Amino acid sequence: MVSILRRSPKLLNSICRRRFSASSDGNLTSHGGKSMNLYSAINQALHIALETDPRSYVFGEDVGFGGVFRCTTGLVDRYGKDRVFNTPLCEQGIVGFGIGLAAMGNRAIAEIQFADYIYPAFDQIVNEAAKFRYRSGNQFNCGGLTIRAPYGAVGHGGHYHSQSPEAFFCHVPGIKVVIPRSPYQAKGLLLSCIRDQNPVVFFEPKWLYRLAVEEVPEHDFMLPLSEAEVIREGSDITLVGWGAQLSVMEQACIDAEKDGISCELIDLRTLIPWDKETVEASVKKTGRLLISHEAPVTGGFGAEISASIVERCFLRLEAPVSRVCGLDTPFPLVFEPFYMPTKNKILDAIKATVKY
């Protein structure tokens, strides 16, 4: 990955120009801690999880040496090979093992190396983990299972290292789906997921692993699940997104403001179960809604948000709900810039929706 970036300086520059902010006022947030990037925040959360719960385990492909994104660096040295260990290249086996481990009362933190390869584990997640508690009448469960997976575009990943499969899992009752936008959010949300009483799929925006930097408290803290955050207040249109797309949407909000359009930007954070009330309150105020995500537009989670808000806010809408998403094609390689929901695409949609 690093070598590819070095061979593509224009690509690296375009990635670095993606502005990052975790705050509601557009500035880099200070949370009174150590400055770190997103992968370091993930690593610190895993250290805390293992330190505070002796029945927690981290496992997956190559996690023993730190993983391809270095998120598990130093864990095996500190906590030993019995609690941090490599697995065979078998995603179905990784998740299946995690279900059994969690069913015995442990905290199982499974890593899928890329979200693109989570599909072999689909049956284990959908038909086993999600239904474990329900089919037993709550006599047993695997609520201690957390599945981490890097997702989304990275600038050079092509078909098999760039996908955003979150919508597949949002159709499954019994699991939670969480996606952070920043280092602070990643640490607090991951610790909440690990300690939650339900199985969780935690997608990490790999584009931000090293680009997103902010101050993160080094102590143990958690952020609430199923609670969206208004990170930019506005009055003309509501924008909803999650993960790495928030930074792109924020750029569009800033440019729209130059044209006199006031945008309210909401980070959903938890996709299932999602915070309908926060989005509904915002849309009733602005009268307009735009949703943006990297996944293909058809069947994406933006469609569920759109349908729910139309049901709840129909008489308050001043324009049709707009979706700016990935295209209905396999994720491309050289044509990635055309596929991505860019700042200019979002800005055009904002203007069109406000002028409707």
Q: Considering the chain, what percentage of its residues have pLDDT values greater than 70?
A: 92
User: 25 pLDDT exceeds 60?
Assistant: no
Candidates 3.40.50.920, 3.40.1440.60, 3.40.50.1000, 3.30.420.40; correct CATH number of 229-354? 3.40.50.920
| Span 156-164, average pLDDT | 93
- Greater confidence (13 vs 223) lies with 223
* Fold match flag (2-216 vs 229-354): yes
One of 161, 166, 264, 294 is an active-site residue; which one?
Answer: 161
Our answer to whether residue 91 is catalytic in this structure is yes
- pLDDT, tens digit (0-9, with 9 covering 90-100), for 217-240: 999 999 999 999 999 999 999 999
Residue 150, helix vs strand vs coil: strand
- Greater confidence (339 vs 8) lies with 339
**CA distance linking residue 321 with residue 309, whole number of Å:** 9
- pLDDT, tens digit (0-9, with 9 covering 90-100), for 65-75: 999 999 999 99
Output the pLDDT for position 312.
Answer: 97
195: which 2 tokens? Answer: 């300690």
- Greater confidence (356 vs 12) lies with 356
Q: H helices of 17-90, where?
A: 38-52, 75-79
| Span 147-156, average pLDDT | 95
Candidates 1.20.1250.20, 3.40.50.300, 3.40.50.970, 1.20.1270.360; correct CATH number of 2-216? 3.40.50.970
Our answer to whether residue 233 is catalytic in this structure is no
- pLDDT, tens digit (0-9, with 9 covering 90-100), for 77-89: 999 999 999 999 9
Give domain limits for the chain: 2-216, 229-354
Output the pLDDT for position 32.
Answer: 73
User: 120 pLDDT exceeds 70?
Assistant: yes
Q: Say how many CA atoms lie within 13 Å of 64 toward its Cβ.
A: 9
Q: What is the largest CA-CA distance in the chain?
A: 60
One of 47, 61, 91, 166 is an active-site residue; which one?
Answer: 91
Mean pLDDT of the chain: 92
User: 28 pLDDT exceeds 50?
Assistant: no
